[in-house]
Structure 1
Amino acid sequence: MPASPSTARAINDRLALRLLQQEGPLTAARLKQLTGLSRPTVADLVERLAAAGLIEVTGESGEQRRGPNARLYGIVADRAYLAALDVRTEGVSVLVSDLVGRVLAEASVPIGDDTGTGPAVEQAVTLVERAAKEAGTDLLHTVGIGAPGLIDPASGELRDSTGLPAWHRRLVAALQERFPKARVSVENETNLAALAEQRDGAARDRDTFALLWLGLGIGAAVVLDGTLRRGASGGAGEIGFLPVPGTSGLPSATDCAGGFHSLAGAAAVVGLAAEHGLTAHAADLEREAAALVREAVRLADGECPGAAGGEDGRPSGVTGPAPGPAAGRFLDALADRVALGAAAVVSVLDPGCVVLAGELGRAGGDALAARVRDRLARMSPLATEVRPSALGGGAVLRGALLTARDRAQDELFAPQER
């Protein structure tokens, strides 16, 4: 059954808007080429979208062409403003962008463990307000939040989890109250990192892959056939609770100590590095662990002193003897640990590709990824690529922005009654 004229117009409009989103400003002639539509059809949709305030003339293409056929049409970027938040146990980072995803403002604030719930929420909300003001708006269309913990698949809310600050759960409601017209949603941080790596990072060519987040905590995300899988209770990927050999006990329902977290979390990595003669001093455990992994990679690769960092080429704050062989042994030991968790994911899901993400995954780079890949090849008959993150710790903010932008565009680009 052929589509009705109104349905056909809506399909054509969405197609054109998606192309303008992906490609940037285009001429009507280029839209005709990319869509396969006739010239009159393209002219009609351009007129409709401009009248609806969704697209505008942004310039002309080429110096030799002038007139209507050379006009470049682009999405009206200031039609809506978006905010993305990365909520950690120790603070919040935020960025504000326009509708096409151009970042207009960024800010962050640390929130100490001794900060009360009310003051912590107020600090976070004030940060968002300040960033929005810097971006030139006091109205946000969509707010995307990435946070650790479980997201209830029924309500879309962050579940009460032991070990997470109470202000995390209060933040969504507080932002909704402060920005009553905004669409506010929260997603697990590791899931957002996977979406970002798939769209803009290490998994751009993969429809199926697993992401292993290595940072202060441990997590995993699974994308199968292009779809993020959250699990029945929203807890798919809580790999920090995975029982593994080499720990002092077993994890419990309320504590991942004794699970994979105890082998590959930032605190465990710092301890493992110390065993191999490498120490560092940083503002927090995650940064300390990342500095140690980067230093080990440098030493194991035999970089010359003075290549980076201080006078001897070592990152600022990194001390201890740790010659090349010891650094290599540290990386080998770390790869042994990471491979335990990765092997469990591979044996159950056969994703074909594992991305080592988070600050530690990016710090380890190709050197750590290659070591983990070699160990998986010995442990599993399933062929698996292992790739380092391309986005590192910034993947959560990027994923939150991408989901906010998609949600806003889905609403604003929806077919209008005519």
Structure 2
Amino acid sequence: MDAPRTVAAGRTASPTTARLINDRLALQLLQSEGALTAGQLKTLTGLSRPTVADLVERLQEAGLIAVVGESGAQRRGPNARLYGIVADRAHLVGLDLRTHSVTVAVADLLGEVRAERTVPIGPDDTPDAAVAAALAGLDKALAAAGAPHPHTIAVGAPGLVDPATGRLGGTDWVPSWHVALVGELRARRAVPVLLENEVNLAAIAEQRDGAARDHDTFVLLWLGHGTGAAVVLDGTLRRGASGGTGEIGFLPVPGTAALPSASGCDGGFHSLAGSAAICALAAQHGLPAEAVAGPAAADAPSPDTDAPPAEAVVRAAVAAGDAGAAFLDALAARIALGVAAVCAVLDPGCVVLGGEIGSGGGEGLAGRVAGHLARLSPLRTDVRAGALGGRAVLRGAVLAARDAAQNELFPPGG
């Protein structure tokens, strides 16, 4: 057997802890690499053949892995069997709460989505009606996925999430049905319910599956109905003392008619880069929102998509080529003000323009922002377009639920 692993200076792991570490390492490899043979696990982990055989047997008995095929090796034997994680061992739920909708995704233990459903919430719906509709949508998604009993639920919502209590703060900024829904989920489901700020979840998704996969330090600037930011430093999401890290909508910036206040971000960066402000800027450049987003494009979203009207405006400007260039450059100058402030404090080296608008603007908008930023800041910063758009929140919720479930099912040891 392998000698116990050293887990800290002057301290060695007990045999039990060493087994937990080895099991988790093997499971992480099976998650990231897909099905592997025992021989491949031996090579990738550096463990001895007997230790790998023991952990494979242990994980099979726990129902976490199973034989999923054969490697095609010339000589058949135990090492030719391919082992994979039993994806149906647990089902996970991710929810993306918006002002006028909730989207539910049900995924397996590998994070593969098995069912998804979006439920519109009418502007005149009572909180009780909104909660009932959301819960009904969740039940239908679970039934479609064949998962009546989810293992973990993760919810992405706008607003402050207190890191100490896991509850929404600043609730006068968010729809009351959001708070009520989280409470009902925690009361009705005998499973962990994680609550996280929506932009933080989007950052997790962009780091795992999107534009920031090669960076462990970056800032995600969310551009949707409103503005927000998520900060990841050395691979760790930073939330702040009250969960307010990244509330960039409140950032005082030049070019607004007033200053933000404790009760609202009008006058802050939101007034320059929120959806309504972008639509107004487009109109000044001869790109009225009504021309591309329909007559209801003020700042009231479609109940079916909850997409910010400015997304269509920005996409239209990109498609218009030279005709949209002046508007995109003016928008980039505004966005660069917020990015420059973030860079002056954090120097992240990479800023991802996320959300529907950041993704819709693509690398053309990101390049323009980078150009303006270079004139405002001496700090070298890579500015990128988000790869996942508005779906980043839902994907981040699924990933957060998967992490929580795996931390329970795959004990980290130590």
Same fold judged by TM-score > 0.5? Answer: yes
Find out whether 1:36 has 2:46 as its counterpart: yes
Q: Which residue of 2 aligns with 1:87?
A: 97
Alignment match of 2:378 (pick from 356, 377, 381): 381
Alignment match of 2:231 (pick from 204, 222, 235): 222
Q: Which residue of 2 aligns with 1:407?
A: 404
Distance apart, 1:415 and its partner CA: 7.1
Distance apart, 1:382 and its partner CA: 0.7
Alignment match of 2:123 (pick from 113, 132, 139): 113
SS at match of 1:83: strand
Q: Which residue of 1 aligns with 2:140?
A: 130
Report matched runs for 1:123-272 at 5 Å. Answer: 123-180=133-190, 182-272=191-281
Unpaired runs of at least 5, structure 2: 1-10, 302-306
Distance in 1 of aligned mates of 2:388 and 2:141: 22
Unpaired runs of at least 5, structure 1: 301-323
Distance in 2 of aligned mates of 1:353 and 1:167: 35
Deviations 1:205-250 (A, max 9, x none): 1111111000001001111111111111110111111111111211
Aligned length: 391
One-letter identity of the residue aligned with 2:237: L
SS at match of 2:282: helix
Q: Is the 8 A contact 1:160 1:169 kept in 2?
A: no
SS at match of 1:12: helix
Report matched runs for 1:67-82 at 5 Å. Answer: 67-82=77-92
Q: Which residue of 2 aligns with 1:358?
A: 355
Deviations 1:5-48 (A, max 9, x none): 22221211111111111111111011011001111111111011
Q: What's the Cα RMSD here?
A: 1.5
SS at match of 1:74: strand
Distance apart, 1:63 and its partner CA: 7.2
One-letter identity of the residue aligned with 1:362: S
Q: Using CA pairs under 8 Å that are at least 6 residues apart, name the structure with larger relative contact order, 1 or 2.
A: 2
Distance apart, 1:177 and its partner CA: 2.6
One-letter identity of the residue aligned with 1:363: G
Residue identity over aligned pairs, in percent, reads 64
Distance in 1 of aligned mates of 2:362 and 2:35: 35
Deviations 1:356-382 (A, max 9, x none): 000000011111000100111000111
Distance in 2 of aligned mates of 1:8 and 1:293: 53
Find out whether 1:397 has 2:394 as its counterpart: yes
Distance apart, 1:117 and its partner CA: 0.8
Distance in 2 of aligned mates of 1:254 and 1:65: 70
SS at match of 2:358: helix
Q: Which residue of 2 aligns with 1:318?
A: none
Distance in 2 of aligned mates of 1:266 and 1:65: 62
Distance apart, 1:68 and its partner CA: 2.3
Distance in 1 of aligned mates of 2:293 and 2:241: 41
Distance in 1 of aligned mates of 2:230 and 2:112: 26
SS at match of 1:96: strand
Q: Which residue of 2 aligns with 1:294?
A: 315
| Greater mean alpha carbon deviation, residues 1-10 or residues 11-20 | 1-10
One-letter identity of the residue aligned with 2:293: H
Find out whether 1:273 has 2:282 as its counterpart: yes
Distance apart, 1:65 and its partner CA: 5.4
Distance in 2 of aligned mates of 1:189 and 1:73: 35
Q: Is the 8 A contact 2:159 2:173 kept in 1?
A: no
Distance apart, 1:161 and its partner CA: 2.4
Find out whether 1:331 has 2:343 as its counterpart: no
Deviations 1:170-217 (A, max 9, x none): 11121123322x110110000111111111111111111111000001
Q: Is the 8 A contact 1:159 1:169 kept in 2?
A: no
